[in-house]
Every structure is written in C-alpha cells, then in structure tokens.
Amino acid sequence: MVALTLPHPGGFAACPSPAFAGEGNARREPSKGEGGSPSADRVWAVLATVPDPEIPAVSVVDLGIVRRVDPTAVIITPTYSGCPATHVIETSIRDALAAAHLPHDVVTELAPAWTTDWITDEGRAKLRAFGIAPPPLGMGARSLMNAGAAECPRCASTDTREISRFGSTPCKALWQCNACAEPFDRFKCH
Amino acid sequence: MDGALPLPAPLRSASLSLAGEGEGLPFPEGRGTAPEAQGEGGAQSRASYALHLGDDALILGQRLSEWCGHAPALEIDLSLANLALDLVGQATSFLAHAAALQGQGDADALAFHRDVLDFTNCLLVEQPNGDFAQTIVRQFLFSTWQHLLYQRLATSTDPTLAAIAAKGVKEVAYHAEVSADWVIRLGDGTPGSAARMAAALDWHWRFVDELFAPADPALVAAGIAVDAPALRPAWDARVAAVLAEANLATPAARRAVTGGRRGHHSEHLGHLLAVMQHLPRSYPGAVW
C-alpha cells in the first residue's frame, strides 16, 4: 500500500513560483566517473530523463540517487530501505540505457546513506513546481522531527501545519497551508 | 525466490510442539545455542547475527502490515504501513547479507523457506497486534531499543551491517518518535485508553529483557555485533521519561520470557509465517 501518489497532471505551473533561495551548503554532488568522458556524459544525459516512479516530476539524477557512473555500471543508492520504487528505478535505468545503446549494469550501494541534501537545486525547484515542499537543507537526520514550518508550494506562506507525519510514500509527510488552505506533500528531511 | 530450499521443511516442522504457550516459557538455559554462534567472529556466527537482526525487522514488519486498511484513523494507517515498509526493507538487506555469509540462498529463501524453529527474532515482535494499545506499546518498546541498537551498529566493523544500520537509523528515529507520541496521547488520554495502555505494558514487559541479551562475545569483541546489555541504561531512561509524560507507571520487574534467539517461539509465530509464506510455498517460483 505504498504507491498511492496522486499526480497533479497540470502541476502548479499557473502559480507564481516563489523565489528560489540560493543554497550555499556543502553538498555531496555525485562524482561523475570516467573523468567526464563523452560516453559517461551521454549516460548522465540519459539518466536525467529517467523519472522517479512515485514522483515523476523529478529524475533519478535530480533526487541524487545516482552516485556514480562506471564504465560498465551505474551505481545507485535507495532513498528508504523499503522504498518499493527502488526496483522500478533499477529496471527503468537499465531499460533507458539499453534503448540508448549504452547498456550498463545497475548496482545498489547502501553506504553512504542517501540524504535529502543530495536532491539537486534543480530537483528542489521541480518538486516545488509539482506541489511538493522540498526538504530543508543541512538539517541532518537528528533534526528530522523538528524541521520547522514548511513553505507552501502554492503561495509560499510559511504559516503551515503538519496534518500527518506519514504520507502517500515513505519520503513524504502531509501538510496544509493555513494561508491559502492548500493541502500539500512535504518531502521529509532524511 | 530462486527456488533454493535450504531446509527440508517437513522435518523441521515436526518439532513444532516445542513452541510454548505464551506466558512463562520455561526453556532450559543453554539449550539449543546454535553451534555456529560459538565461532570466533567467523562467517557462520556473523550470518546468525545478521539473521536475527533481519528476523526482528521482518516479523515486526509483517505484523504491522496486518494493520494496513484496518487502523483506527488514516494517519496511523499510513504510519504503520510506512513503518512496516521500512522494516521489511531493512530485513531484506540483513537477510541478503546473511545469505551471502552462508554462501547459499538469498533473502527470499530465508524469509519464505524457513520454519518456526529457524527464526531467531525476539519474542516481542511476534506478539499479536491485539488492540491499538498493544500495537503501540510493542512498537514503542521495540523501536526505542532498535534506534539505540542501530546507532551503535552503524559503527560495526562489518561494513555491510554498518551500512544497513546507518541507513535504517534514520528511519527508526521516526518509528521511535511516532510510537512515543502515541504512548503519551493514549496513556494521558481517557481512563479507557490509559487502562488499555497499562494492560499492554503489563503484557509486553516480560519480553523486554530478551532485547538486551548479549550477542556472541567473539562478535562483540571483534566490533561486529553491538554490546546489547550496554544499551539498557539509555533505553530505561528514555522509556521512563515517556511513560512519566504519559502518566503510566513503569511495570515492576518480572520474570523474563526468552527463547526467540534460540528458535523457541510462542505459538503466534507459526500463524504469522503461515500467512507470510503461503504464496511462495504454494506456488514455488511464482513471479508477478
């Protein structure tokens, strides 16, 4: 009972997108193996088109779950231990690369553990446009319960409240905006 | 499911009558300690340790999934299903590691083709869901322990165990938090909810000591396994603080019921396994 994500077909494209604050935190960007060789660049370009099955607005690269690209393998890390999307993602990556004549194995590595800090700035902007409040940066796992008020992805108000700590997928909580009454998902700090 | 059947199932189930009747299982101490658990940090002992970590997570994950669609409110239904998902995910990683160390089978073979006596989960996690208070108390006692355990296990000298724990500790932090919230809400709620919580504490308290039983000393010395008894003071302090806030009394110490780590289970586990294992056993090799 996990894949209950209800996509917003039109997203919130009509709403003015709040200014996107620049983030200066030290973040671990995935290392692009092979020294940025042409074939690795092509692999990364294909990966950037592979959507997350539960949140199709963002790609697996946006989410920071692709850690490295080796000559023969793409190394990914799961978001949550039990995230059922992981298997779909493996298959999607393998199929997309095979279709692009760049066949790679997909290898899952647990360490270092994925953190929401690895979601790229572009991924954060896409989440917000999709109606999901992105997780705060640099909170660390210990502060995940006290990440502060979420910013409404619709009207940018921070007058918001948590409805349920668990949502339609392991990575999201349910929130509601007190200003515009919009209920929305918040990507949990992890 | 790769069709590997590590054990002749019918032979093992013949000794099911060893399983006790719930309360006061007087299993002779020292009996049934698996020979491989006496190794010196070797692969077999390490596999047994990974197996018991995986079995704890798997059995509680299966229990919690029984609530899916039945919980008292949507919020907690989603919560319990998400907790179950986390635990089953952690179990998959632990069991895959155990299978690799054993050099045979895989996580599915271990989950679906072992019988009651081969499971080494603690007795706490196999307790029936009961009413909502029983489920919450079981979760609170276990998650508070598992959070402490994973914090230490994240520094294990076994890099795979460390990686699973470093990932799982972030998930279990939520489990401990959400169950503590409910303990307080229900304990400090109506007389009816408080009475149910007190009864749930009274039942589950007998299974707590087993959580802190020491692992194979060789594994602990090698930095692979967590020194479980050392977790007790922090667990006691956290549980006492939450129970105090919930206006619930900490139950008096009582005779511990143990045996799960040696495969001596209550009758409840067999029923749980019957549901969990039915499909892969009835239709071997079935795929979606």
Cβ of B173 and A144 within 8 Å?
A: yes
Between A25 and B219, the more confident residue is B219
Please, where are the H alpha helices in B103-187?
107-112, 123-126, 132-153, 159-187
Q: Which two tokens stand for residue B107?
A: 């996580």
Exposure string of B108-144, with b = 16+ CB inside 10 Å and e = fewer, is bbbbbbbbbbbbbbbbbbbbeebebbbbbbbbbbbbb
- Residue A185 to chain B, least CA–CA distance (Å): 14
Query: Which residues in chain B are closer than 8 Å to A116, comparing Cβ atoms?
Result: none
Phi, psi of A183 (to 5 degrees): -80, 140
Query: Residues B11-20: what's their mean pLDDT?
Result: 34
| pLDDT recorded at residue A29 | 53
Reply yes or no on whether the pLDDT at A67 is more than 90. Answer: yes
Question: Is residue B242 in some structural domain?
Answer: yes
Cβ of B78 and A167 within 8 Å?
A: yes
User: What tens digit of pLDDT does each residue of B86-128 get?
Assistant: 999 999 999 999 999 999 999 999 999 999 999 999 999 999 9
Query: Residues B133-160: what's their mean pLDDT?
Result: 98
| B 51-70 → A contacts, CB under 8 A | 61, 68-69
With cut-offs at 50, 70 and 90, classify the pLDDT of residue A22: very low
The ipTM estimated for the assembled molecules is 0.74
Between A173 and A49, the more confident residue is A49
| pLDDT recorded at residue B144 | 98
Selecting from A2, A144, A145 the residue whose C-beta is nearest the C-beta of B85 gives: A2
With cut-offs at 50, 70 and 90, classify the pLDDT of residue B150: very high
The pTM for the full model equals 0.82
Q: What are the structural domains of chain A?
A: 34-108 (3.30.300.130), 120-187 (no CATH)
Reply yes or no on whether the pLDDT at A21 is more than 80. Answer: no
Query: Which residues in chain B are closer than 8 Å to A113, comparing Cβ atoms?
Result: 163, 166-167, 170
DSSP class of residue B133? H
Question: Is residue B73 in some structural domain?
Answer: yes
Question: Is residue B28 in some structural domain?
Answer: no
User: What tens digit of pLDDT does each residue of A98-115 get?
Assistant: 999 999 999 999 999 999
Cβ of B166 and A190 within 8 Å?
A: no
Query: Residues A161-173: what's their mean pLDDT?
Result: 83
Cβ of B174 and A2 within 8 Å?
A: no
Question: Is residue B284 in some structural domain?
Answer: no
Please confirm whether the linkage preceding B28 is cis (ω < 30° from 0). Answer: no
Reply yes or no on whether the pLDDT at B217 is more than 60. Answer: yes
Selecting from B75, B78, B168 the residue whose C-beta is nearest the C-beta of A81 gives: B168
DSSP of chain A: --------TTTTTTSPPPP---------PPP-SGGG-HHHHHHHHHHTT-B-SSSTTSBTTTTT-EEEE-SSEEEE--SSTT-THHHHHHHHHHHHHHHTT---EEEE--SSPP-GGGS-HHHHHHHHHHTEEPPPTT--GGGGGG--PPPPTTT----EEEEESS-SSTTEEEEEETTT--EEEEEPP-
- Residue A55 to chain B, least CA–CA distance (Å): 17
With cut-offs at 50, 70 and 90, classify the pLDDT of residue B37: very low
Question: Is residue B26 in some structural domain?
Answer: no
Cβ of A113 and B163 within 8 Å?
A: yes
Between B29 and A80, the more confident residue is A80
Reply yes or no on whether the pLDDT at B194 is more than 90. Answer: yes
- Residue A104 to chain B, least CA–CA distance (Å): 23
With cut-offs at 50, 70 and 90, classify the pLDDT of residue B2: very low
User: What tens digit of pLDDT does each residue of B40-84 get?
Assistant: 458 899 999 999 999 999 999 999 999 999 988 888 898 999 999
Q: How far is CA A132 from the centre of its chain?
A: 10
Question: Is residue B163 in some structural domain?
Answer: yes
Q: Flag the least confident range among A111-120, B7-16, B56-65, B249-258.
A: B7-16
Read off the amino acid at residue A83. Answer: C
Q: Which residue of A has its CA nearest to B74?
A: A164
d(CA B167, CA B54): 14
Query: Residues A8-28: what's their mean pLDDT?
Result: 35
- Residue B159 to chain A, least CA–CA distance (Å): 9
| pLDDT recorded at residue A169 | 78
The overall average pLDDT reported for chain B is 88
Cβ of B164 and A110 within 8 Å?
A: yes
Question: Is residue B282 in some structural domain?
Answer: no
| pLDDT recorded at residue B225 | 98
CATH code for the domain of B91: 1.20.1260.10
- Residue B190 to chain A, least CA–CA distance (Å): 22
| pLDDT recorded at residue B40 | 47
Count: domains in chain B:
1
Bridge partners of A185, per DSSP, are: A132, A174
The overall average pLDDT reported for chain A is 79
Q: What length is written for chain A?
A: 190
User: What tens digit of pLDDT does each residue of B258-276 get?
Assistant: 999 999 999 999 999 999 9
Selecting from A81, A164, A167 the residue whose C-beta is nearest the C-beta of B171 gives: A81
Host domain of residue B204:
35-276
Cβ of B88 and A2 within 8 Å?
A: no
Question: Is residue B7 in some structural domain?
Answer: no
Residues 6+ apart with CB under 8 A from A38: none
- Residue of A81, A108, A117, A186 for testing the chain B interface, max B β-carbons within 10 Å: A81
Residue located via tokens 């640099």: A138
With cut-offs at 50, 70 and 90, classify the pLDDT of residue A165: confident
Give percent above pLDDT 70 in chain B. 86
Query: Residues A58-69: what's their mean pLDDT?
Result: 95
Query: Which residues in chain A are closer than 8 Å to B86, comparing Cβ atoms?
Result: 80-82, 170
